[in-house]
Structure 1
Amino acid sequence: MASLDQVSIAILLGAVLVMAGILSSLLALRFGAPLLLVFLFIGMLAGDSGPGQVRFDDVRSTYLVGSVALALILFDGGLRTRFQSIRAVLAPSMVLATIGVLLTALITAPIAKYVLDLNWTEALLVGAVVASTDAAAVFLLVHAQGLRLRPRVGATLEAESGTNDPFAVFLTLMLVELISIGESSALHVVLEFTRELVLGTIVGVVGGRLVVLALNRVALPQGLHAPFVATAALVVFGVAQIAHASGFLAVYLAGIIVGNRPTRAHNSVVTFLDAATWLAQIVMFVLLGLLVSPQRLVSSIVPAVIVAFALMLLARPIAVFLCLAPFRFNWREKLFIAWTGLRGAVAIFLASIPMLVGLSKAYLYFDVAFVVVIISLLLQGWTLAPAARRLHVALPRSDRGPRRVELDLPGQLEQQLVGYSVRSKSLYFRRGLIPSWSKPTLVIRDQRILSPAEADPVAPGDYIYLLAPPQKAEALDRFFVDMQPSLEPDPHLLGDFMVSGEHTLGELAEIYGVAVGDEQAKLTLADYFDIHLDHAPKEGATLELDSIVLVARSIGGGRVNVVGLRLPEEEEEPAALTRMASLKRKLSDIWASVAGI
């Protein structure tokens, strides 16, 4: 009976832990990755050195749980990665994910050798264990602290943190093998790396395509799509590992393939994996906390702190600046990328590999990784937002996205229903604007379902549902958040041939002679960008308007408030100059009349 009671207590404690994890997601958006440290300390308190007195030394189970958790986290990261957004930064990201990890390990190794009294191979293993950034920690903190990173910086961090784990795992395994066997060769390492890279890529791409095919061809019961995809991700990971390929690279690539193809139940899959990865991280942190011994930490705490600060202040910045030197990043962007190299559960997971194979100093690697993770999440984690603002690589979000409801439509993959609550200050209500690729379908008002014609005019508090392509659903958000006051552009910008985004297409047509339909003549230039762009407007975005090109030059409140005009290049030069001068005078007259000059 006593054993049955122990099982019941284990079930109770496990259920309470899962419930705490679910409720903690409410705090995660406010406190971010450091909140995970609470579960790490819960594990320590529950362990045999804490009041819980639970004796836990099952490294094999910890490695199993860590592998599953990391596979799901990487798959979820790939699922959210838009290939178009990272295509331009693939080169710097891959350099950071490979050469950057190696450089970080090599620079950390001498410090680890002298402060921990290790030989060179053991010191390099310490560097390899803590060399990779943690994708889940990085982006949980970015979203939690309300940061909107500059596109190039955000995409680089996204691609690097998602792809550096496979190389860190490979480097760790190679060093563990070298310490265990005692001999290796450069040729062996290169062949092993090539095999894992090539086979991992093949398994990931093929596996991702098969998952897409199964999702779209197999008629699964409602609600089973998300568990199917999560299980399929683990199948891809397992197949790659059995084939001695990089399972972590394979599962990340499979996520990218699935995330960038039209599939059924895409939104429910993403929501499910969000919850699954959050709970997986919690379970992993608790188990890792159970393995930690505070008494053992006492002897290595000072050297471990030195390694942590050397990693953050020396190894990572040097590696980032060297790797990004050939690419067009300014020093502020490089410094922020260097500071955002957070260490998380991945480092502690890698440190469990030496324990699993029984290396002589295995617990030392684990304790050092534990201290590095705590310092990284506390110091870098809570200073991420101030660093981003001070370095001018990100701005705080001016508003949270509206609550969006997405419903899949059976029988096709091209459209889905996207629902919003109509706000009185929203762009949709104020201007009646909606993208050309979306179509209002129904309106819910006072518990009644109305067609758009019956509900016209739509009132604040209504719920409107629109048909939109799944990949563009998020782009609708900006039409249903409160409009920010637009910034008035500098009149001196007219000298550079730019105009206010509040001028109408009709005014532009009258000046320049471009063809504009009657229904579009009253649209402002800012409205034109909102309607025809598939995403929130960014500086440099362009749209054609008959024979000229409109260029977004300044963004304020989420809208284009200064527009540049690019004239047709095929005009004869004298005529073009005459026309430009005339246009500039007329634009100045319009600006003067509008601004009251």
Structure 2
Amino acid sequence: MIFTAENILLIGSILILSSILISKTGYRFGIPTLLLFLVVGMLFGSDGLGLQFHSASDAQFIGMIALSIILFSGGMDTKYADIRPVLKPGIVLSTLGVLLTTLLTGAFIYWISGWDNTNIQLPLLTSMLLAATMSSTDSASVFNLLRSQNMNLKQNLRPMLELESGSNDPMAYMLTIILIQVISSGNDLNFLIVGKDLLIQFFFGGVIGYAAGRFSVWLVNKINLSNSSLYPILLLSLVFITFTVTDQLKGNGYLAVYIMGMIVGNARLAFRKDISTFMNGLTWLFQIIVFLTLGLLVNPHEMLDIAAVAMLIGIFMILAARPISVFLCLLPFRKLTNKARLFVSWVGLRGAVPIIFATYPVLAEIEGSQQLFNIVFFITLLSLIIQGMSIAKTARILHLDLPAEKEGNEFGVELPDEIDSSLNDLTLTTEMLQKGNRLADMKLPQGTLVMLVKRDNEFIIPNGQLELHPGDKLLLISENKKEQA
């Protein structure tokens, strides 16, 4: 069966519905949901139920849209206060770490290409290209695993891992594109030109991303639209404009939208709740779509020929290339313990991004590109199974896990950014009521008021004479303290 204009809506809906239902079951067994989305795509594909999808260009286009949304949404959720202490190690990992992983893995691939019992014969530059496509940790996988499991880690490891995964895709993308250009042209690798291209992409990506973020905040806060639902759509259009303009100016669009997301997420923003809800739903939708698409694109029977060599490369990346790169990059940062470095090494997840990047050699018609694609896909599955299913357990074994922090309040009430106040909830105990059980007897800090009382399933609008009971939950609103000049 092939996709047509008449059946694509039905088939697509069935695929998405199947993915969601299967992911609910898999979550109970600690299986990463994104892995299940890939598997569903493979089950419905050419070697499964027979859906025919073979367009690498369409998959690349869908991946580009999905990655733009995922990176922007991830940037929005990244808070300056969280990443400030880990900014330097995060940036080093996302740049030098990617380069070291590429060099180590590429050298290993080139070395095993000469073995009699391996079925790959790749020249040095093609070996480096294969390594470059897989050199970054996947932002979708890392964000999804850390946030869906509400994982909290010691030594600020969670924000560092999220910063690395959100900002290292541009480096892998640039290395992939540059190596494709060199191989296609037949010229030797010129490190001066490579360095120049990297600087240009980082410069325009950073500058345009920052400018677009500031402009987006100003526009959303100033423009008066008739319907609040239009604000997230307005912002989404600015994300795509930012990506496209940056790409046209030879900058890195993925870096630009990630920085744009950070600027927007850390500013005062009108209709933040509407925008966040919309972006979170859209991120989940495109994560499902891109993993399904990539699962449909691959022909599983073709991976049998490269399974042994891909297993060898994947194990080398997990046990050697990634740990060596991480330990070298984090060497100057003495405060990080060896356990922390080991955990960061283990969270070298591969996901949709390497597979999307592996479509670029296919479209560029690099010799052996289909073999490269199958190797990348196999290693992605290996990474999601081995690393993705063991991240939480590894954190516990290394004693790096912390109790999950509660997000929001139990009342489900949120305040817009324009109100410079914060909401918290408090559960009353018998000890708290010893000096009086009326609300008027409660000694609350100055600038704090009780908005609502929840007793069992009943909500009570309070007054000073309300009698309180142990177990009552109070919704408190407090003024944010002004910083002293």
TM-score range, shorter chain: 0.7 to 0.9
Is 1:348–2:355 an aligned residue pair?
yes
Choose which of 195, 201, 220 in structure 2 pairs with 1:196: 201
The verdict on how the C-alpha distance between 1:338 and 1:359 changes in structure 2, with shifts beyond 3 A counting, is same
Find the counterpart in structure 2 of residue 457 from structure 1. 468
Match of 1:288 among 288, 294, 313: 294
Q: Please, what is the CA RMSD of the aligned residues? A: 3.1
- Write the distance in 1 (CA, Å) between the matches of 2:206 and 2:16: 34
2-side partners of 1:146 and 1:428: how far apart? 30
- SS of the residue corresponding to residue 382 of structure 1 reads coil
Q: Deviations over 1:171-219 (max 9, x none)?
A: 1111111111112422211111111111111110000001100111112
Bigger radius of gyration among the two? 1
The reply to whether residue 335 of structure 1 matches residue 380 of structure 2 is no
Tell me the residue number matched to 1:369: 376
Equivalent pair of 1:442/1:466 in contact (CA under 8 Å): no
Distance in 2 separating the partners of 1:185 and 1:403: 58
One of 37, 40, 43 as aligned partner of 1:42: 40
Matched, 1:79 2:89: no
Task: Tell me: higher relative CO, structure 1 or 2? Use CA pairs within 8 A at least 6 residues apart.
Answer: 2
Question: After superposition, what is the alpha-carbon deviation per residue over 1:58-80, rounded to whole angstroms, capped at 9, x for unaligned?
Answer: 11111111011111111111101
State the alpha-carbon separation in 2 of the partners of residues 399 and 254 from structure 1: 27
1:370–1:533: structure 2 CA closer, same or farther, 3 Å change rule? farther
Change (3 A) 1:32 1:247: farther
Letter in 2 for 1:466: I
Structure 1 residues 428, 47: CA separation in 2 closer, same or farther (over 3 Å shift)? farther
Percent identical across equivalent pairs? 33
In 1, the alpha carbon distance for the partners of 2:30 and 2:472 equals 32
User: Which of these residues, 205, 212, 218, is aligned with residue 213 of structure 1?
Assistant: 218
Tell me, yes or no, if the aligned pair for 1:32 and 1:144 is still in contact at 8 Å: no
Does the CA contact (< 8 Å) of 2:454 and 2:472 recur in 1? Answer: no
Matched letter for residue 218 of structure 1 = I
Give me the whole-angstrom Cα distance separating, in 1, the residues matched to 2:206 and 2:77.
18
Query: Contact 2:152–2:405 (CA<8 Å) still a contact in 1?
Result: no
Give 1:429 shift.
Answer: 8.6
In the superposition, the TM-score normalised over structure 1's length comes to 0.71
The residue number in structure 2 matching 1:118 is: 122
Q: Are residues 224 and 298 of structure 1, via their aligned partners in 2, closer, same or farther at CA, if it must alter by over 3 Å?
A: same
Tell me if 1:152 matches 2:149: no
Alpha-carbon distance between aligned partners in 2 of 1:426 and 1:340, rounded to the nearest angstrom: 45
SS at match of 1:453: coil
Cα deviation for residue 110 of structure 1 reads 2.4
Distance 2:350 2:124 in 1: 23
Distance change in 2, residues 1:367/1:452 (3 Å)? farther
1:442 Cα deviation from its structure 2 partner: 4.2
1:466 matched to which residue of 2?
A: 477
Q: State the partner residue of 1:171.
A: 175
**How far off its partner does 1:454 sit?**
5.6
Residue-by-residue CA offset, 1:550-588 (whole Å, 9 max, x unaligned): xxxxxxxxxxxxxxxxxxxxxxxxxxxxxxxxxxxxxxx
Q: Is the 8 A contact 1:429 1:460 kept in 2?
A: no
Q: TM-score, normalised to structure 2's length? A: 0.87
1:21 touches 1:279 (CA, 8 Å); kept in 2? no
Spell out the pairing of 1:181-580 with structure 2 (5 A cutoff). 181-183=185-187, 184-220=189-225, 221-328=227-334, 329-397=336-404, 402-403=409-410, 405-409=412-416, 413-415=418-420, 418=423, 423=427, 438-443=448-453, 450-453=461-464, 455=466, 457=468, 460=471, 464=475, 466=477
Q: Which moved more, 1:238-247 or 1:184-193?
A: 184-193
Deviation at 1:419, TM superposition (A): 7.6
Task: Name the SS of the counterpart of 1:360 in structure 2.
Answer: coil
**Residues 34 and 141 in structure 2, CA contact (< 8 A), matched pair in contact too:** no
Alignment CA distance shift 1:104-1:425 (3 Å): farther
Of 457-466 and 184-193, the range deviating more from structure 2: 457-466
Gaps of 5+ in 1: 470-531, 535-597
How many residues align structurally? 466
1:13 corresponds to which residue?
11
Of the structure 1 ranges 357-366 and 24-33, higher mean CA displacement relative to structure 2 is found in 24-33
The question of whether the paired residues in 2 share the 8 Å contact of 1:285 and 1:345 is answered with yes
Shift in alpha-carbon separation, 1:226–1:19, aligned structure 2, 3 A: farther
Tell me the distance in 1 between the aligned counterparts of 2:35 and 2:82. 31
